[in-house]
Amino acid sequence: MDATRANRRRMLAVVGGSVASSVAFASCLDDGQQSEENDEGTAENTEPAGSNVTADDGMEDATDGENEKRATEGNDEGSTDAIEEIDEEFVDRTGEETVEIETREGTGDEPAFVFDPAFVRVDEGSVVEWVNTDGVFHTATSSDSIDDRSGGEEFDETIASEGETFEWEATEAGVQPYYCSPHAGFMYGALEIV
């Protein structure tokens, strides 16, 4: 059996176990313990605390060989209004009007492609400029969470060829995660706007 099939089976086992556990727990609750229903008549949260099992739990990332070590926390709606806890060192670029982030090929233990720098602290009002320096098709796409690389509600721009750029003004304090859509598994970062 090849490694891909084994990883798929492991992922299905983890996801299946999570669903089964949630269903079993929900069926054990009596009417007094069940979560209150919202206006649509569906339960808001029947999952026990601490059971946030994902398909990635205990599995190594097939792209960079390291388990993700980033933790996040948000408010009840999952909004980025809450400051996100990210276990990375941010490069301090406060005091700069324009902050440049380059796309480049990874070196050494890095993944195939990276944003450089990926995690950057900038001033509110600074302009962040993503520059394609490797000639590979990339995007700069916003996300609500560093772990949930989907969205693009704030920005989603293609920087497809060498020398192409995208500029975005950091107008609101907080954390703005971002990623490259074609390389989302390993090419991502965040802006800490102060």
> Would you state the pLDDT for residue 84?
57
Say yes or no to pLDDT of 99 above 90. Answer: yes
Query: String of b and e for 146-169 (b: at least 16 CB within 10 Å)?
Result: bbebebbebbebebeeeebebebe
Tokens representing 82 are: 């809450």
Q: Rounded mean pLDDT of 36-59? A: 40
Give per-residue pLDDT as tens, 140-177: 999 998 888 888 789 999 999 999 999 999 999 999 99
Give domain limits for the chain: 91-193
Worst-scoring range by mean pLDDT, 2-11, 29-38, 181-190?
29-38
CATH architecture of 91-193: Sandwich (2.60)
Over the chain, what is the mean pLDDT? 71
Residues paired with 58 in a beta bridge: none
With CA atoms as reference, report the closest residue to 150 among 120, 121, 188, 113.
188
